[in-house]
Every structure is written in C-alpha cells, then in structure tokens.
A and B are shown apart, each in its own frame.
Chain A
Amino acid sequence: MTKNIMIVGVGGQGTLLTSRIIGKAAMAMGYDVKISEVHGMAQRGGSVVTFVRFGEKVSEPVVEEGQADVIISFERLEALRYAHFLKKDGVLVVNDCRIDPMTVVIGAKTYPEGILETLGKDHTVRTIDAQAIALALGNSKVLNSVVLGYAASAIGFEKETWLDTIATTVPAKTVEINKKAFMLGYEA
C-alpha cells in the first residue's frame, strides 16, 4: 500500500528539505520512493507544495486530491488551501503560524478567520507552534525539523531512522540542533 505525504507551506520555509528527509527515511526503510519538488519562480514566497510517496512500487511522483495520508502544513492558510487533498481519514499536521499573502497585505483579500476550527470539522488536525520551540532553541531555521518531529508519528518509522536521516541530510554544522529540534517536536 502506497503512503502519500504532502508538505505545503510558503516558499522559503524549508518544505523542500523536509520532503527530502522523509523520502530518504522511507528509502532507508527499503521502500520504493518518489519525491516531487518545486523549483524556480514558485519558490519566491509563493504557495509551495511537495510530495513524497512510498510503498512497494510507486508510479506517479505526485499526490492528488483525495489521496493524502498526511499533510504537513507549515502555515495555516496553506493547510486550508490543500486540505481537500486528504483521504477520508487523513491527518493534517499544522504549524500554527500565519504569513499574510500579498493579496492580504494590500487589502485585496482578508486572511480567513478560524481556519483550524473549520478544518477540524472534517479532518483530524494536529497543531503545533513550532516557531516558539525553534526560537527557544535559538534558531528559527530549525522550525521545519520541529514540525517534522511532530508529524513523524503520523508517517511512521522508528525514531532512530529519522535521526539518522537528518544527520545525513542537513548541513553538517546544523546536525545536532536539527536533531534536538526534531526530538522537541517528536515529544510535543
């Protein structure tokens, strides 16, 4: 059975690295893996979505509407934008953070109120304030490892698999802090 993971957020939040860690961890578990990434213009502060699929044999590299087992959203509005990709019993992991898109900044649109409550009606929603945890660790850039740690139980794999994969994926200087960040999310 193929497992379908989506990572959504705002360009620059580290969604790409997160999807690569998940993909490598799945590979380490012996699965066939496909990861679909976003490069180029869309990375510049736009809405970004990456996909990781793993299982015995994976054909297409993307997850489509109605197929996501887990959506990891780095921002509330992006969770709202992509929630319809979830399966009936899919899990939505949301970093409780708000980044206004330019349409909201200039007043052309309003940022929806009560996103988490709206999403909670149809979906299992798990929320974490990863920003606060990352800042407490002294580096806002490890936010994605906190979120990943928090989402790890929904994806599966042993804790050691995750930590080993982080160690071989993130820049050498940041291995320890990323592992710590992962564990804080994992235990939250």
Chain B
Amino acid sequence: MATKTIMLGNEAIARGAYEAGVKLSSAYPGTPSTEISEYLAAYDEVYTEWAPNEKVAAEVAIGASISGVRSMACMKHVGLNVASDPLYTFSYTGVGGGAVIVVADDPGLASSQNEQDTRMIARAAHVPVLEPSDSQEAKDFVKLGYEISEKYDTPVILRTTTKLAHSQSAVELGDRVEVEDKKYERNVSKYVMMPASAIGRHLVVEDRENRLAEDASALSVNRTEMGDTKIGFITSGIAYQYVKEVCPEASVLKLGLVNPLPRKLIEEFISKVETVYVFEELEPVIEEQVRAWGFDVKGKELFTRQGEYSANLLRRVLFGKDEAVFEKQDAPARPPILCPGCPHRSVFSVLNKLKIHAAGDIGCYTLGAVAPLGVIDTTICMGASISSLHGMEKAKGKDYVKNWVAAIGDSTFLHTGINSLINMVYNKATGTVIILDNRTTGMTGHQDHAATGKTLKGEETYAIDLAALCRAVGVPNVIEVNAFDVKELEAVIKESVSSDVLTVIITKSPCVLLKGQKFPNRCEVDPDVCKKCGMCMKIGCPAMTRGADGKVKIDPTMCNGCGLCKNYCKFGAIKTVAKA
C-alpha cells in the first residue's frame, strides 16, 4: 500500500521532482518558493544548489537539460523577471532532458513587492503552465510537467501561489523512477539561437503550442465535474478549492493546464451551462481568452484582481453575504518588525541619528522604512538600492547624495547588487553603499549564499570575501565595521557621505536568529536611574516598553542582549546582566 502523509505544497513539489527522476535543481530563495529547494536537498539522488540569482538558476537548469537530464529551477514570481531572459529563449531551444521551472506567485503580498501574475509572462514566452490546487496535485503535476516537457520539447512552468505553497494536505508517496538521460547531440539549429536558427525555432514554438492546445482538451488534469447546470465555474489552482467549498453542487471545469487553454473543452462546458463564472486570482488570463473566443462569461467585473481570494468573497458575490457572525473589532496594527538583537537596527539607528536617507533593497532591512527608525526611502527590486542611488547622483550632482546611502544585504548584493556597484565604479560615482552583512539570506528563513562558506547541501565551500570583491571591481574605499559599534559606524558613515570617494561600508554582525549567534547577556533598565526621556525607545526595539510610571522596561524573554539600547541612554540606566 502506498504511504500517505501530510505535506506542505512546497515539500510535495520537491517530492514530485524526486519521484520524477530529476537530477539537478538550482534556485535562489524567495517566499513562497524557498522550501522546495530545502526539501529537495535532503534527497541524495538530486544535485541541488543555491544560485546567486534566478537567471543563473534557470541557466544552470537549461545546461543540465541540454546535457540530457531532467532538471528544475525554482523561484518566486519576481525571480522570474530576473530569469525571463533565459526563459524566453529556452522556449525557442526547447529541452534535452525535461525541464520544469517552478514559479511561486504571491497574491495578497505575504512577502513581496508586487502581485504580478506569472501566467502573463508564460503566455508571452509561449511556455506551458501547470497549476495544482493541493499538495497531492503539486506532486503529480511536477511529474506531468516532465512528461509534457519531453513530449512537446518545451520548458514547463509549474505555477503555485502562497496558499498552495504554504498549506499542508495529504499526499500519497511514490517511488523514484530513474529516467535514462537523453543522448546529447550537437544541434546548432536547436541550441544556438542566432537569427538563422531562431527564425526556424519560432515556427517550432508556434506549432508546439498549437499542438498542445489541441491535446489539452483530452488532458486528464483539465477536468469537467458536471453538476447543476444553472451555474458553472471555470477555475484553477487554489481558487478551485473555494468554489468546491461554496458551491459543491455547481458544475466546474477545473483547469490543471492553464496555458495553453483547452479551447474545445471550454467551449463544450460553456455550451452546457447557463451562467459561467471564471474564478481566477489576480489577472483575467483565462477570462480574456474565453471572451476573445466570443463567449459571454462573468469574471473580473465581479471578482477583484487584488489579493487572495476566499470562499467568503465568492459567497458575497453569489449570495450577497458571507458567513461572518461578528463585527471585526478595532485593534492596533501589528506589522512585522526587525527582531530584538537585529544588527540592521544598529545601522539604521545611526542613519536615523545622522538624518541620512537610504535607498533600500529587498530583505528584512526593508522594515527600516517604518517608524520609529524610518530611514529607508525606496524599495524597488533586488539590487536597485545601489543603482538608484547612482541615478540620483548622476541626475542631481554629487552634493545631492551627501545625505544618502544605499543599503543592501549580503545575499541581495551578490544577487544583482554587484552589477550596480560595477556601474558606480565605471561611471565615477562618489556615493556610499552600505552592505548589511548578516551572513545569511534572512527574510526567507536563513539560506546560505556564496559568501557564507556553506552550500545548500550543508557542505563546506569557498566563501566569497565581500570586501575583496568590492576592491577587485575597483571601489577605492572599502571599510569593514562591526554593525554594533555605533560610534565607529557614525564616524565612518559621516566621513564617507561627505567625501567625494566611492565608498562601500560593510557592516558585519550575524543575524541574531542564526544558530549559535546568541549574545551572552541581556539588558535591564535601572528604574532608579531612568529619566523617562525616551531616547532609547527611538531604536524601535520590540523588547522595550514603557511601564505605567513612564519608565522603560525591557522584556527579559524577548531581549537578546545586543546592548544597542545602552548606546542611546546618556544616563547609564541600562545595564547588562547575565541571562537567566
């Protein structure tokens, strides 16, 4: 009997890759896709790695595919933007061994900078998209993805969303099937995308997509569940679950392959049902195509393009009310914050004191945008801190950036920040870049990267020396400083922003959540000395609150003992004491 277990969507995807005989996977961490690689790394049969960015990851998977093995690349939706350059042309070359690119969308923005819909990119690139609706399908669709990839000579995107990636449901396990490697043969017209070859391959792409669209109506993952024919839903992914929750009696066309669409199957379904709703999160990708075929369906005029869907959303639209019984109570918001003991807080406290603006980047340190630190002014995408600071300087002159810095994490710097820094050197910039080096990829849950000395598999490896790297690309002034040495930090930042020399300041202190990175002591306020001035509260440490008497208290269980607050009490009321 097959073993049944409960699995996170991302774990099921990893399991699917394992069972499908995948031999290589490359990825860059990004919520909600990160755990796929972590689970996959546990299988000895699969080579897995963290790449510095998604473009590299996709290209590694492409190389593996050309060499004849089944390969995978995993990323979040915005990661696909970085990887879209190889993706568009991989669509032309097609595959050797099967290739699946897992892309995790984030409707509702649990941890992202935008809400883009991967299906739009996939359509533009003419790449098939599979979309599972629970963990079992996540596993099964990965395997199907490899079959489609090899049968139609195309990369396949497995699209997930946050709710699927991060929810657990039952999965039946299967065995790994060792797939024989495809034999590599030199084929210039297929793998060398110069114009003469690409003109020919473009025809192949169109023909392939037409064939798959034709075959899609008979594909088992595109499934009609006929019930009441008064109303019917065309839906896919997690949205399907909401339909089943609210209208178990309705007719449903559940699409597992969402690009290209099974036109014949959709036309048949519409012909049998009185009112057809297209229920899809984010963009009206299915709806617009169905409308273009001349069918009158209901969709985005009723259902939002924003955020995550829910069963209650469907209930409100269909029945005019949801299941809520009680009124929502007014409660002060609790946004995410930098942890107690976070080294970013120390750097930001200095920037705040010096009234310096920071062009920010993607990572935990984005949280430096909010009160009370409020030093991050911009967040666009990975690497943009450095290049946008450069743009400001070149647009407005070097004096304009004398109260600006770029702030970027170590992992993000290696992702795409390094390119921007090369641009600063080449084009004679004078600005200041701070690399917040906490020795990990923090926000996504502590993944190693090229400067940590550890691989995804946990093996020792070379660790890129960030300071040496900056010097090697020609940065004239590179300074390393302890992130918690606020006096030194202040002096270094003041000097570098006022100078006309391009400077990289690397602030060093490991993420406080990393194993073995605990401070030995904790901090305590002496109430007899506290003058209630509130200066220490300006660093925004969640372990610090005011008591009823207005004096500051430090929660002993939350305090990590970094001691940053001590620097901001001129009365010496904060003391270091041994942890319990």
**Hey, which chain B residues are within 8 Å of A102, CB to CB?**
334-335, 337, 370-372, 540, 542
**Hey, which chain B residues are within 8 Å of A88, CB to CB?**
325
Q: Tell me if A45 and B332 are in contact (CB < 8 A).
A: no
B396 close to A (CB within 8 Å): no
| Whole-angstrom CA separation of A108 from B241 in the bound complex | 40
Stretch at the interface among A31-39, A147-155, A156-164, A177-185: A31-39
| Whole-angstrom CA separation of A65 from B367 in the bound complex | 29
| Whole-angstrom CA separation of A14 from B166 in the bound complex | 16
Chain A, 46-87, CB within 8 A of any chain B CB:
46-47, 58-62, 64-67, 77-78, 80-81, 83-84, 86-87
| Whole-angstrom CA separation of A111 from B166 in the bound complex | 31
- Convert B335-376 into 0s and 1s, putting 1 for each residue whose CB lies closer than 8 angstroms to a CB of A: 111110000000000000000000000001011001110000
**Cβ 8 A contact of B169, one of A33, A45, A81, A87:** A33
Chain A, 80-110, CB within 8 A of any chain B CB:
80-81, 83-84, 86-88, 99-106, 108-110
Most buried by B among A40, A46, A64: A40
Most buried by B among A32, A35, A60, A106: A60
**Cβ 8 A contact of B170, one of A33, A40, A86, A108:** A33
B268 close to A (CB within 8 Å): no
Please judge, given known A-B contacts A39-B32, A100-B545, whether A33 and B168 are in contact too, CB under 8 Å.
yes
Q: Taking CB as reference atom, which chain A residue is nearest B331?
A: A81
| Whole-angstrom CA separation of A46 from B445 in the bound complex | 15
Please judge, given known A-B contacts A45-B336, A67-B323, A105-B540, whether A61 and B328 are in contact too, CB under 8 Å.
no
Please judge, given known A-B contacts A10-B334, A60-B242, whether A39 and B372 are in contact too, CB under 8 Å.
no
Q: Tell me if A61 and B241 are in contact (CB < 8 A).
A: yes
Most buried by B among A32, A88, A106: A106
Chain B residues within CB distance 8 Å of chain A: 6, 8, 31-32, 34-35, 110-111, 134, 163, 166-170, 238, 241-242, 244-245, 310-312, 322-339, 364, 366-367, 370-372, 443-445, 537, 540, 542, 544-545, 557-558
Q: Tell me if A84 and B329 are in contact (CB < 8 A).
A: yes
Please judge, given known A-B contacts A46-B337, A84-B329, A140-B557, whether A105 and B170 are in contact too, CB under 8 Å.
no
**Hey, which chain A residues are within 8 Å of B323, CB to CB?**
64-67
| Whole-angstrom CA separation of A67 from B326 in the bound complex | 11
Q: Tell me if B6 and A106 are in contact (CB < 8 A).
A: no
Q: Taking CB as reference atom, which chain A residue is nearest B315?
A: A64
| Whole-angstrom CA separation of A131 from B557 in the bound complex | 10
**Cβ 8 A contact of B6, one of A35, A47, A62:** A35
**Hey, which chain B residues are within 8 Å of A65, CB to CB?**
312, 322-325, 328
**Hey, which chain A residues are within 8 Å of B443, CB to CB?**
40-41, 44
Please judge, given known A-B contacts A84-B329, A86-B325, whether A64 and B312 are in contact too, CB under 8 Å.
yes
**Cβ 8 A contact of A38, one of B110, B325, B330:** B110
From residue A149, how far is it (CB to closest CB) to chain B in Å? 20
Q: Tell me if A47 and B35 are in contact (CB < 8 A).
A: no
Q: Taking CB as reference atom, which chain B residue is nearest A102?
A: B337
| Whole-angstrom CA separation of A122 from B544 in the bound complex | 33
A118 close to B (CB within 8 Å): yes
**Cβ 8 A contact of B31, one of A23, A33, A41, A66:** A41
Q: Tell me if A64 and B311 are in contact (CB < 8 A).
A: yes
| Whole-angstrom CA separation of A61 from B309 in the bound complex | 12
Q: Tell me if A62 and B310 are in contact (CB < 8 A).
A: yes
Please judge, given known A-B contacts A46-B337, A61-B167, A84-B329, whether A106 and B241 are in contact too, CB under 8 Å.
no
Q: Taking CB as reference atom, which chain A residue is nearest B332?
A: A109
**Hey, which chain A residues are within 8 Å of B337, CB to CB?**
44-46, 102
* 8 A-B contacts (beta carbon < 8 Å): A34-B169, A40-B31, A41-B111, A42-B111, A44-B337, A47-B333, A65-B328, A112-B331
**Cβ 8 A contact of B537, one of A34, A64, A105:** A105
Q: Give the top 4 A-B pairs by smallest Cβ distance, nearest first.
A: A40-B111, A40-B31, A46-B336, A66-B323
From residue A86, how far is it (CB to closest CB) to chain B in Å? 6
Q: Tell me if B335 and A46 are in contact (CB < 8 A).
A: yes
Q: Tell me if A33 and B166 are in contact (CB < 8 A).
A: no
**Hey, which chain B residues are within 8 Å of A10, CB to CB?**
334
| Whole-angstrom CA separation of A99 from B338 in the bound complex | 15
Q: Taking CB as reference atom, which chain A residue is nearest B326?
A: A84
**Hey, which chain A residues are within 8 Å of B558, CB to CB?**
99
Q: Tell me if B6 and A27 are in contact (CB < 8 A).
A: yes
| Whole-angstrom CA separation of A59 from B367 in the bound complex | 35
Please judge, given known A-B contacts A59-B244, A64-B323, whether A36 and B163 are in contact too, CB under 8 Å.
yes
Q: Taking CB as reference atom, which chain A residue is nearest B133?
A: A59
**Hey, which chain B residues are within 8 Å of A127, CB to CB?**
none
Q: Taking CB as reference atom, which chain B residue is nearest A105?
A: B545
From residue A30, how far is it (CB to closest CB) to chain B in Å? 11
| Whole-angstrom CA separation of A84 from B444 in the bound complex | 30
Please judge, given known A-B contacts A60-B241, A84-B329, A105-B542, whether A40 and B444 are in contact too, CB under 8 Å.
yes
| Whole-angstrom CA separation of A87 from B326 in the bound complex | 8
| Whole-angstrom CA separation of A104 from B241 in the bound complex | 38
Q: Tell me if B545 and A80 are in contact (CB < 8 A).
A: no
From residue B421, how far is it (CB to closest CB) to chain A in Å? 25
**Hey, which chain B residues are within 8 Å of A78, CB to CB?**
334
Q: Taking CB as reference atom, which chain A residue is nearest B106?
A: A40
**Hey, which chain B residues are within 8 Å of A58, CB to CB?**
169
**Hey, which chain B residues are within 8 Å of A111, CB to CB?**
332
From residue B277, how far is it (CB to closest CB) to chain A in Å? 17
Most buried by A among B311, B322, B325: B325
| Whole-angstrom CA separation of A40 from B310 in the bound complex | 21
Q: Tell me if A59 and B245 are in contact (CB < 8 A).
A: yes
Q: Taking CB as reference atom, which chain A residue is nearest B541?
A: A105
**Hey, which chain A residues are within 8 Å of B167, CB to CB?**
34-37, 61-62
**Hey, which chain B residues are within 8 Å of A140, CB to CB?**
557
**Hey, which chain A residues are within 8 Å of B326, CB to CB?**
66, 83-84, 86, 122-123
Given A84-B325, A103-B335, A106-B371: 13 more A-B contacts, CB < 8 Å: A32-B170, A33-B170, A34-B168, A36-B166, A37-B168, A39-B34, A41-B367, A43-B336, A46-B336, A86-B325, A102-B372, A112-B332, A131-B557
From residue B454, how far is it (CB to closest CB) to chain A in Å? 21
From residue B290, how far is it (CB to closest CB) to chain A in Å? 24
Please judge, given known A-B contacts A80-B329, A102-B371, whether A66 and B445 are in contact too, CB under 8 Å.
no
From residue A123, how far is it (CB to closest CB) to chain B in Å? 8
| Whole-angstrom CA separation of A101 from B34 in the bound complex | 28
Q: Taking CB as reference atom, which chain B residue is nearest A75?
A: B334
- Convert A1-23 into 0s and 1s, putting 1 for each residue whose CB lies closer than 8 angstroms to a CB of B: 00000000011100000001001
From residue A44, how far is it (CB to closest CB) to chain B in Å? 4
**Cβ 8 A contact of B32, one of A12, A40, A84, A112:** A40
